[in-house]
Amino acid sequence: MRKIWWKILCIVIIFYVIIMGFIGPVPRLPIINESIRNTYFHVALWFAMTILLFTSMIYSIRYLSKGRIGDDDIASEIAKSGIFFGVLGCLTGSVWANFTWGDPWPNDPKLNGAAVGILIYMAYLLLRSSFEDEQRRARISSVYNIFAFAVFIPIIYILPRLTDSLHPGSGGNSTFGSYDIDNDIRKVLYPAVIGYILLGLWVAELRIRIKRIRRFHEEELIKTGRL
C-beta contacts of 98-107 below 8 A and 24+ residues apart: 99/35, 100/31, 100/32, 100/35, 101/166, 106/166
Q: What's the CA gap between 23 and 2, in Å, rounded?
A: 33
**pTM for the structure as a whole:** 0.89
If you average pLDDT over residues 195-210, what whole number do you get? 96
Q: What's the CA gap between 75 and 134, in Å, rounded?
A: 14
Read off φ and ψ for residue 29, nearest 5 degrees.
Answer: -105, 145
Which residue from 215, 58, 204, 209 is spatially nearest to 142, judged by alpha carbons?
58
If you average pLDDT over residues 214-220, what whole number do you get? 79
Q: What's the CA gap between 202 and 13, in Å, rounded?
A: 14
pLDDT at 169: 52
Q: What's the CA gap between 133 and 149, in Å, rounded?
A: 24
Q: What is the pLDDT of residues 15-48, one digit of tens each?
A: 999 999 998 888 777 667 778 888 999 999 999 9
For residue 6, how many other CB atoms are within 10 A of its CB? Answer: 12
pLDDT at 109: 81
Which residue from 121, 88, 95 is spatially nearest to 199, judged by alpha carbons?
88
pLDDT at residue 166 is higher than 70? no
156 secondary structure, DSSP code: I
If you average pLDDT over residues 149-174, what whole number do you get? 74
Answer yes or no: are the C-beta atoms of 104 and 98 closer than 8 Å.
yes
